[in-house]
Copies of this chain bind each other. A is one copy, B any other.
């Protein structure tokens, strides 16, 4: 009796659920501390103390209607102004509250913007490897996700292939940097070239192509690397941000969209995104946490802890003979599997009590994603298994 589309979803997800159940069984048999779960992007670093302070301050100083009541579907004006001001200070932009729409996390924001933009059949281009949920977010609005094959040399986007895949049906391009699953940060050089190609294609086809920048990992960058702010490179850029990782708040569902005045039909896009927030059933981003994040715009989780994990895991795995790019951001390592079949490799890893996700899930077979947002100890304890695994396969 469920819809045809959801029947397919339920069928596919039962495979994942089976994997999850197997993981639970492993934990029962060997003890949870002896199962090394690198499969989830659930932040392991504590939420900054500022968040708790902000909650207490809000509860003490604002009345309940002002904390828990409805507001404009786009969010509190003062919260949106605070965010705009913070972005302006960091990136020398010139936004105000009208450019900001508060969203139910980045996932909510991406659904709002795709609902806003897509007619059935419109194409959205992304670069492999990519966050698998883009498939669903685009399909929700009858769009078509077009996948540019991976550039496995350095995992910067394959721009030559990209250029050829843009058509008059291309409505948007979605990128994610720092990237899930590779941890790679798209360089300024890449962004400049990408913007140039998109501008040329806009002219060639007489259309507007939106660049959607999905940025939940912006604050998780290492070695002082610069993560370019894309509205400065390409006029039709819309940004989707989330506090899930920067403040370790994934369960609270709080983020925002930036819709600059420079984007094509900006007034319509802003008005439609406000309405889409309502009619998709989000109604508004959670109200208490809107006020919380406005008080925590300069707070940040202990990125150093993720960096320690990165160094340990990257150095150990490469010393064992694994091939992988050193990630510059996020909390993922994207490792080439010693055998071609990444799904088979995940099964073999499970026999060492190591849970990882096949690259196929991100449109890039022959690799695995290791989420290192776990305890340092978990990585230490898993290393012998990784070592034995590659030795056995060589």
- A42 part of interface (Cβ distance < 8 Å): yes
Given known contacts A281-B104, A281-B110, is B43 in contact with A251 (CB within 8 Å)? no
Of A13, A69, A133, the most chain B CB neighbours within 10 A belong to A69
- A329 part of interface (Cβ distance < 8 Å): no
- A181 part of interface (Cβ distance < 8 Å): no
Bound: A278/B110 CA distance, A: 13
Bound: A275/B276 CA distance, A: 21
Tell me the count of chain A residues lying within 8 A, CB to CB, of chain B. 76
Q: Which residues of A contact B (CB under 8 A)?
A: 1-7, 9-10, 13-14, 40, 42-44, 46-47, 51-52, 55-56, 59, 63-65, 67-71, 104-105, 107-112, 115-119, 122, 133, 136-137, 140-141, 208, 210, 248-253, 264-265, 268-269, 271-272, 275-276, 278-284, 286-289
- Contact among B4, B68, B281 for A108, CB-based, below 8 A: B281
State whether B9 touches A272 (Cβ < 8 A): yes
Query: Which residues of the partner chain B approach A46 to less than 8 Å between Cβ atoms?
Result: 63-65
State whether A3 touches B116 (Cβ < 8 A): yes
State whether B284 touches A251 (Cβ < 8 A): yes
Known: A6-B275, A110-B281. 15 other contacts (CB 8 A): A1-B264, A1-B268, A3-B115, A3-B141, A5-B119, A6-B276, A9-B275, A104-B253, A104-B281, A105-B283, A107-B281, A112-B281, A133-B278, A136-B279, A288-B289
